[in-house]
Amino acid sequence: MSVLDIGFLSLTHFCDKHGPSVLMVTQLASSLENCNELLLPEYPRDSYCSSCLLKFPDTNEHATSIRSTFDDFYSVSTQYSSVRYQLLSLIIKKTFSEENMSYDGSPFMFWDEHRGLNLAMGFKLEDVHARGNERRYCLILSLEKGESSGEKDAFNILAENWQFVIESFTKLISHIKIQSRGMLDKLQTDFTQIMGGTYLRENKQKIPVSLADIVGDSLIFLKIHKWNTYILKRLASANSNSESSDGVNTL
């Protein structure tokens, strides 16, 4: 199985306005040229709102992708993958419509011939501006079968790296939730000092809000790109028997 066949990692969101949406998809490539092939020069960003739009720091407000190198691997994260869009649409629609899907950090796995093998982990963030005062997100690892292999390889890869993937997802989600809680506490403190009363009770306007604003971290998508790259690189290396270390990295 080549590096390009290993699969991809997605951060998805159920947008109040647009429904199931891909915030960011991270893929590996064997060269910079292959990275470019995974990107579209531009895509209709006006069809997204703040809550489902990939948001970079102010200095890169017009950027639509992140590329990086990790040892001999190249990685790219974007919101609109040129070769994965239709597949991702199928995956996220099933994920967010699945009755058994929970948002408490429990893993949920599904497979079929159209969507491949997928491991999803959902979570919620409190936001007074969202419907029901919460926003739903999901991390999804999608493993593909290579041209010279079958779906059995995808199951083997996941089985052999199950603990690593679960711990990695859990660590990332925990980091995001801690940031979100800290930001909410800060808003509550500031609101009480200025206006009095309770921030959660007084702010009832429903508007789209970016994940970056919910966690108060303009670099959050860059960090997620780095984390996703590490996970995919580890899986690719483990599949080629070139890496045998245990444990998870740090954000």
- Give the CA distances from residue 119 to residues 71, 91, 94, 109, 155, in Å, rounded to whole numbers and listed in that order: 26, 10, 12, 4, 11
Is 50 exceeded by the pLDDT of residue 137? yes
pLDDT more than 90, % of the chain: 39
Q: What is the pLDDT of residues 73-127, one digit of tens each?
A: 888 888 877 667 788 888 998 899 877 788 999 999 998 888 889 999 999 999 9
pLDDT band at 67 (very low <50, low <70, confident <90, very high): confident
Is 70 exceeded by the pLDDT of residue 170? yes
pLDDT band at 242 (very low <50, low <70, confident <90, very high): very low
Roughly how many angstroms between the first and final C-alpha of the chain, as a whole number?
A: 28
pLDDT of residue 3: 43
pLDDT band at 198 (very low <50, low <70, confident <90, very high): low
Is 50 exceeded by the pLDDT of residue 148? no
Q: Which of 231, 204, 173 is nearest to 6 (CA)?
A: 231
pLDDT of residue 187: 79
What is the average pLDDT across 138-159? 76
Is 50 exceeded by the pLDDT of residue 186? yes
Enumerate the domain spans of the chain: 3-185+207-231
- What is the greatest pairwise CA distance in the chain? 65
Q: Which of 113, 53, 109, 117 is nearest to 80 (CA)?
A: 53
Q: What is the pLDDT of residues 3-43, one digit of tens each?
A: 456 789 999 999 999 999 999 999 988 777 777 777 765 66
Q: Dig out the tokens for 150 from the structure.
A: 């079958």
Mean pLDDT, rounded, of the chain:
82
Q: Which residue has the tokens 């949920």?
A: 108
pTM of the model: 0.86
Q: How many residues does the chain have?
A: 251
Partnered with residue 21 across adjacent β-strands are 13
